[in-house]
Each structure stands twice: as C-alpha cells, then as structure tokens.
Structure 1
C-alpha cells in the first residue's frame, strides 16, 4: 500500500496481523525479526497519524470547548 493511499484502519489491521504472527510459537527467528521491523514502521506511521489528527482537533476546538472555523491541510 502506498503512503498516499494508506489509511489508519488498514495500517492497524496490518499491524494486528503482524502481532498475531509474532505471537505464534513456530515463527523462525529471521521471519520474526522481519515482522518486528515492519511492525515498528507501521506503529510509527500510526503514531504520526494520531499526532497529526490531535493537532487538527486542537485547531478546531477553542479553549472554552466551542468549535472554530479552520481550514484543514493534508500533509
């Protein structure tokens, strides 16, 4: 999946599948390392996406909890 078309939900599903593979007892060490590396990259992508969304929400809501009109930029 390309970075432009990646969604948070699809990335989380992929990460969950990797976790299930890592939890299996019969994963060869080389495969486990590869899964772990990919999982860490996906985890970072999800964390970065959540940080971006938190910033967007902070820009939408004022201190008194009211919504303010803003333009949301895609990165």
Structure 2
C-alpha cells in the first residue's frame, strides 16, 4: 500500500481481491500476490478498528459515563 487509505478504500480493495480469488481463474503467482496484498489490507483494517475502539473506550472512560469491557 503506497499511501494512507481510508478504511472504506481498503475494504473495497479487499473485497475486490476476495471476489477475484473466489472465481478461481487467477494464475497461481498472481493469486499468491493478491493473497499477500489481501493479508496486508486485512491487517491495516484491523489496526484502524482497534485504534477506533481504543479511542471510544478512552472517551467513554474520560466522561465517566460508562465502562466498556474488553474481551
């Protein structure tokens, strides 16, 4: 990933990769490249979600309104 993508952009790319791989007519080398890119995008999206969860937890804790339990 060259530039910072939004969560939505990354998810759309990931969905495109999944659809392409599910079709099954992708040459092996390209499939491996696409799979690796999909893993990167998945980790990127997971990081965004985790950061958002931390931010929400911090905001709620600072306001003292409600405690969000972590798994």
Q: TM-score, normalised by structure 2?
A: 0.82
Quick check: which one's helix share is greater?
A: 2
Residue 34 of structure 2 corresponds to 35
In the TM superposition, structure 1's runs of 4+ consecutive aligned residues that sit over 6 Å from their partners are none
Q: Secondary structure, in 3 states, of the residue corresponding to 1:61?
A: helix
Greater RCO (Cα-Cα under 8 Å, separation 6 or more): 2
Q: CA deviation at 1:60?
A: 1.0
Q: TM-score, normalised by structure 1?
A: 0.78
In the alignment, structure 2 segments of 5+ residues that lack a partner are none
* Number of aligned residues: 64
